[in-house]
Amino acid sequence: MSSTAESTRTLDILANQALPRLRAKGSSEKPKAGELEAFFRNGGSWKEIFDASDVGAERNLVADRFAVENISVLDVGCGRGFFSFACAAKSARVTAMDPMDGGGRAGWWDEFKRSSAIMGHAHSVCGIRASADSVPLKSGSFQLVASVHSIRNFGSVEEIRGLVREANRALGSGGRLVIVESDVNDPGSRGYRAFYSMRTKLGWELELPTGDEMASFLEAEGFGDVSQEFIETDLDYAPIRFPYDPSMPKGMADEYKKAEKQLEDEVERPPRICIVSGSR
């Protein structure tokens, strides 16, 4: 693992969350110029940053429950790679899959590879470009198929069903499929609900199925031991605060800004994490 302040946009997201916590006197101010370099000069590591960040801590929470040493994991919709890195740190071998650089994610594989190398996971994580509903990999080759905060960016609910079908094929006997998403219907986080609805209206995020609906998709494909878990957390694990920008459809600016303000003002915790899983 690199012990220098060489970074990427992905790693900056982690550092911005983690550095305020890692300060000796723990103030919540945003990191200042040169702070990351000073952190590494004093012996800090990217693993410490990952573990101390909200995004990293939440991915660790999921990996701790389902990923064990020496298993093969298929991370569907890996995006920036946060869940892949959490599994790789537990000595799992990870195949990270995503249809990017499509979907407005130009250059993301390059970003993924650089972040992975800096984190020290270049040899345990490999990336492939593919969609969840058409996995170009041998049947029965994985012990864990996971999709962590990814189905929000799928094109349709049919693609989620496709993920479940393909996971059933890609998993070996006894393997587990795990789908993790925010519970946007969490009554304890109404501001998030309003903002998320705004984003679905803009076509940027999929209207998410409920935990019950997702569980029924797994049962329909023959998964056993299907369970739903809801975990309440203060972790800012999937930030969705993309500010209004003028490329958004005209006429939606006011509504978007209002939803954004509601998200800022309402003192609420992030929505519960919904984990639906089943065994093959």
Task: List residues bridging with 126 in a β-sheet.
Answer: 95
As measured in angstroms, the least distance from the Cβ of 65 to ligand SAM is: 15
Question: Residues 39, 112, 142, 154: which binds ligand SAM (CB under 6 A)?
Answer: 154
CA-to-CA dists, residue 245 to 153, 197, 266, angstroms: 19, 17, 22
Q: Which is nearer to ligand SAM, 39 or 112 (CB)?
A: 112
CB nearer ligand SAM, residue 37 or residue 158 = 158
Given a contact cutoff of 8 angstroms between Cβ atoms, the answer to whether 92 and 178 are in contact is: no
Q: Which of residues 32-61 bind ligand SAM (CB under 6 A)?
A: 59
Based on the shown chain and the rule CB under 6 A, indicate whether residue 161 belongs to the binding site for ligand SAM: no
Is there a contact between 121 and 46 (Cβ–Cβ < 8 Å)? no
- The three-point CA angle 68-70-74 to 5° equals 75
Q: Fill in the amino acid letter for 64.
A: D
Cβ closest to ligand SAM, residue 72 vs residue 131: 131
Taking CB under 6 A as the rule, which mask of x and - marks residues 239-278 in contact with ligand SAM? ----------------------------------------
Tally of CB atoms within 10 A around 59: 27
Site for ligand SAM in 130-149 (CB under 6 A): 131-132, 148-149
- Classify 256 in phi/psi space as left (phi over 0), alpha (psi -120 to 50) or beta: alpha
Based on the shown chain and the rule CB under 6 A, indicate whether residue 80 belongs to the binding site for ligand SAM. Answer: yes
Nearest approach, Cβ of residue 161 and ligand SAM (Å)? 11
Element (DSSP H or E) covering residue 144? strand 142-148
The residue type of 70 is N
* 82 scored as a contact of ligand SAM (CB under 6 A): yes
Which residue, judged by CB position, is nearest to ligand SAM in the bound state? 79
Rounded CA separation 151/132 (Å): 9
Interface ranges with ligand SAM (CB under 6 A): 59, 76-80, 82-83, 98-100, 103, 105, 131-132, 148-150, 153-154, 159
